[in-house]
Amino acid sequence: MTAATLRVLHLLPDLAMGGGQRVLLRLLEEFAGRGAEHAVAALAGGPMEDAFRATGMPLLITGRFGQLRAFTRRFGADILHTNGTPYDRAFGQLVAATLRLPVVNTFHGMPPGRIPWPRRPGDAAPFLRNRVMHCANRLLTGLNLAEAVAVSTPVADAYRLWLGLPEERVTVIHNGLPPAAFAVPSEAEKQRLRAGLAITGCAPVLIAVARLVEGKGHALLLDALAGLLDRRPGAVLVLVGDGPLRGAITERAADLGIGGQLRLPGTRTDVPALLSLADVALSASAFEGFGLAVLEAMAQGRPTVSFDLPSLRAFVEDGRSGILLPPGDGRSIAAAVDALLDAPDRAAAIGRAARERAAAFTVARQADALEAVYARAAARRRQRAG
Q: Are residues 105 and 240 in the same domain?
A: no
pLDDT for the residue 9:
98
User: What is the count of structural domains for the chain?
Assistant: 2
| Same domain, residue pair 198 and 336 | yes
Res 83 pLDDT > 90: no
Q: What is the pLDDT confidence band of residue 3, given thresholds at 50, 70 and 90?
A: very low
Per-residue model confidence as pLDDT tens digits over 237-256: 999 999 999 999 999 999 99
Residue 2 placed within a domain? no
Domain assignment present for residue 214? The answer is: yes
Q: Is residue 333 part of a domain?
A: yes
Is the domain of 171 the same as that of 188? no
Is 227 among the domain residues? yes
List the one residue out of 114, 105, 73 whose CA is nearest residue 86: 105
Average pLDDT for 13-41: 93
Same domain? For 116 and 16 the reply is yes
User: Worst-scoring range by mean pLDDT, 110-119, 142-151, 198-207?
Assistant: 110-119
Do 202 and 166 fall within a single domain? no
Is 158 part of any domain? yes
Residues 336 and 323 in one domain: yes
In angstroms, the CA 112 to CA 159 distance is: 10
Does residue 1 sit within a domain?
no
Which residues, 6+ apart, have CB-to-CB distance to 133 below 8 Å?
A: 86, 112
155-182 mean pLDDT: 92
**What's the confidence (pLDDT) of residue 50?**
96
What pLDDT does residue 296 have? 98
Question: pLDDT tens digit string along 324-366?
Answer: 999 988 899 999 999 999 999 999 999 999 999 999 999 999 9
Q: Is 309 helix (H, G, I), strand (E, B) or coil?
A: coil
Element (H, E) at 156: helix 153-163
| For residues 220-225, average pLDDT | 97
pLDDT for 172: 97
pLDDT for the residue 26: 95
Paired with 9 in beta bridges are: 39, 80
> Span 83-91, mean pLDDT?
84
Q: How many whole angstroms from its chain centre is CA 65?
A: 27
* pLDDT of the residue at 328: 84
Q: Name the packing angle between helices 124-144 and 86-99 (round to 10°).
A: 30
Looking at per-residue confidence, does 162 or 10 come out higher? 10
Residue 152 pLDDT > 50, yes or no?
yes
pLDDT over 80 (residue 127): no
In this predicted structure, what is the pLDDT of residue 132?
66
∠ CA 267-273-278, nearest 5°, is 95
Distance CA 315, CA 367 (A): 19
Average pLDDT over every residue of 222-251? 97
CATH code of the domain in which 16 resides: 3.40.50.2000
* 248 in the same domain as 158: no
Q: How far apart are CA 254 and CA 223, in angstroms?
A: 12
Judge if 167 and 227 occupy the same domain. no
Ranking 73-77, 135-139, 177-181, 215-219 by mean pLDDT, the lowest is: 135-139
Same domain, 216 and 330: yes
Same domain, 48 and 136: yes
Question: Same domain for 166 and 23?
Answer: yes
| Amino acid, res. 7 | R
148 shares its domain with 184: no
Residue 351 within a domain: yes
Range of the domain at 149: 7-176+363-385
Identify which of 19-23, 168-172, 253-257 has the greatest average pLDDT: 253-257
**Does the pLDDT of residue 12 top 70, yes or no?**
yes
pLDDT, tens digit (0-9, with 9 covering 90-100), for 66-76 = 999 999 999 99
**For residue 129, pLDDT beyond 60:** yes
3-state SS string over the chain?
A: CCCCCCEEEEEECCCCCCHHHHHHHHHHHHHCCCCCEEEEEECCCCCCHHHHHCCCCCEEECCCHHHHHHHHHHHCCCEEEECCCHHHHHHHHHHHHHHCCCEEEEECCCCCCCCCCCCCHHHHHHHHHHHHHHHHHHHHHHHHEEEEEECCHHHHHHHHHHHCCCHHHEEECCCCECHHHHCCCCHHHHHHHHHHHCCCCCCCEEEEECCCCCCCCHHHHHHHHHHHCCCCCCCEEEEECCCCCHHHHHHHHHHHCCHHHEEEEECCCCHHHHHCCCCEEEECCCCCCCCHHHHHHHHCCCCEEEECCHHHHHCCCECCCEEEECCCCHHHHHHHHHHHHHCHHHHHHHHHHHHHHHCCCEHHHHHHHHHHHHHHHHHHHHHHHC
